[in-house]
Structure 1
Amino acid sequence: MKLRLLIVSLGLVAAPVLAHDFWLQPLRFQVAPDAPLGATFLVGHGTFRDRWNNNGRIVMLSDFFAGRRVDRRGDLRGGGQVDFVTRFADPGLHVLGMQSNYAFSDLPAIRFNDYAKVEGLALVIAARERSRTTGTPGRERYSRRAKALIQVGAQTAANQHFATRPIGLKLEIVPERNPYALDASRMLPVHVIYNGRRLANATVKLTNLADDAKPVAIAITDRAGRARFRIPVSGNWLLNSVWSEPVAGVPQVDFDTTFSSLTFGFPGALAR
């Protein structure tokens, strides 16, 4: 299986594009059972990083653990230093999942074309070229998905596989190993799912959340929807991907875009 890895420089990524990236940021990723854990929703990177103050758009916020799904929307709060505070009673690997409803975007042609190119939105680029609309504004509806891997209590072999189970998001990055139990190679294989199927040619970015002006690596998923990343032994990390396809019958909208992310972090790393 051949994987194509790309190395990106800051000069190749425009700030308006980076501002699309979105993730769930707990104050820490390792927590004791029943201890309160605060978290925020963040968007952008570097000097463009900001709180995503749109809790009213959240249609799903859940804790996935051992085949159970617990609704956590009741933990959302307005204002303050965090967007929600929750607790986990059961020791083990928990997956926090979030989904938003649709918002709408209308970007000038040059910005939209740059964004589609950097994010690897092949269907968008092809559709605009085919319809000869690359010189027109890009109109999309978009929604967001995010996951965070939370280790509650001591890590045990019995619960490691919870990290590798999809939770049913429209666009989802699924690790094939528990990031908290990697071997000495530190290689983390992942696959991307879109509408329940493996997605080829999706761009996946790895970003160090302590120094997030640009990604540290980018991979393109192969025909099996897989990519691999080497994960350091410390820090807080973000994997994110975007996919978009043409949509018909929606007024003033040409494309349906989904943003998805996965975050995890190691002991001693605090949120910035």
Structure 2
Amino acid sequence: MFKRSFKLLFALVFAGPIYAHEFWISPVDFEVDVQSPIAAHFRVGQEFKGGSHSYLSRYTTRHELHQGGAILEMSPREGDRPAMQYPGLEDGLAVLVHETTDSTLTYREFDKFVNFIKHKDFEGLPEAHLARGLPEVGFVESYRRFAKSLIAVGSGVGQDRPVGLEIEIVALSNPYTEDLSEGMAVQVLLNAAPRADVQVEVFSRPAGTKEPAGIQLYRTDADGIARFPVRTGHDYMIDNVALRPVEPTNTDDPVWHSLWANLTFAVPAD
């Protein structure tokens, strides 16, 4: 009975209304001492607020820890919470990486699809949907999540780099070691190519608080780079979404596929 209930709860959370929910890696601590344990939760929610969820292998494609160009083996157990755990690392910047499997949702109201694509700034897609002869209700979308998180071990020195996710956000600045007075720079990649002129959503809040998140929208330049101001003593979540048409074979097949990139980090207090 417990397994059935847990499976249902997980399905409701991870296959819930995609237009309203983010998935992110939430470290217990963004800064840790050398060889101190690293732990991070999976969270699903809105506006940088969400409940913690366990590691489950059947919903996992990649589950990794990167440091200094090396991929370090993680040995998760079913139901781990925090979902990402590692006993300790040498000095440097650590990057947690998680990719889910595909999930699906069925739209019962066309307005919800329209609200989602407006929020994520997919210009012209309501018209494209109807031009394909697709129904306004009862159609299916598949989606996949690609999340990263930056943790400073000791000094936190180092640099984020592409890790080969289908869609990913790469930090071009190290928030733990660099002067960010001119802003934080990130690059959005899709199939290893820069995503030019797309929306980047930036969520921020004071570290260790439950204050409502500040939310700002930015756009990438021709090189897929977005730069935005940051404040010391704040946690950040960066989001970018791509949406692709899919040609269904059967009536219940997805007609759209969305890819969600997410990056979390902190800017230390002065």
Same fold (TM over 0.5): yes
Q: Following TM superposition, by how much is the alpha carbon of 1:147 offset from its aligned partner in structure 2, in angstroms? A: 0.5
Candidates 169, 175, 180, aligned match of 1:173: 169
TM-score, structure 1 length as denominator?
Answer: 0.80
Unpaired segments ≥5 residues, structure 2: 1-16
Q: Which structure: greater helix fraction?
A: 1
Q: TM (normalized to structure 2)?
A: 0.81
| Corresponding position of 1:10 | none
Instruction: Write the distance in 1 (CA, Å) between the matches of 2:35 and 2:184.
Output: 29
Paired residue total: 247
Task: Report deviation, 1:184.
Answer: 5.3
Tell me the alpha carbon deviations over residues 85-132 of structure 1, each in whole angstroms, 9 at most, x when there is no partner: 213322101111111110111122111111111012347445314325
Aligned equivalents of 2:55, 2:104: Cα separation in 1? 14
CA separation of 1:155 and 1:99: change in aligned 2, threshold 3 A = closer
User: Secondary structure of 1:174's match?
Assistant: strand
* Partner residue in 2 for 1:248: 247
Alpha carbons of 1:41 and 1:83: their partners in 2 closer, same or farther (altered >3 Å)?
same
Cα distance in 1 between the residues matched to 2:126 and 2:221: 19
Unaligned runs of 5+ in 1: 1-15
CA, structure 1 residues 221+46, in 2 after alignment: closer, same or farther (shift >3 Å)? closer
RCO higher in structure (CA 8 A, sep ≥6): 1
Q: Residues 13-40 of structure 1: CA distance to partner in whole angstroms, max 9, x if unpaired?
A: xxx5664211000101111122112211
SS of 1:179's equivalent?
coil
Structure-2 separation of matches of 1:28 and 1:18: 29
Correspondence for 1:220: 219
- Say whether residues 1:195 and 2:197 are aligned partners: no
Separation in 1 of the partners of 2:154 and 2:49? 34
Residue in structure 2 matched with residue 105 of structure 1 by the alignment: 105
Fraction of identical pairs, as percent: 25
* 1:201 aligned counterpart, secondary structure: coil
Distance 2:72 2:156 in 1: 21
Distance 1:185 1:46, change over 3 A: closer
CA RMSD after TM alignment: 2.6
* Per-residue CA distance 1:161-189 (angstroms, 9 max, x = gap): x22x1111111111221122342524012
User: Hey, what's the Cα distance between the residues in 1 that align with 2:212 and 2:127?
Assistant: 29
Check conservation: 1:245, 1:257, Cα contact below 8 A: yes
User: Residues of 1 paired with 2:180 and 2:47: CA distance?
Assistant: 30
Letter in 2 for 1:257: S
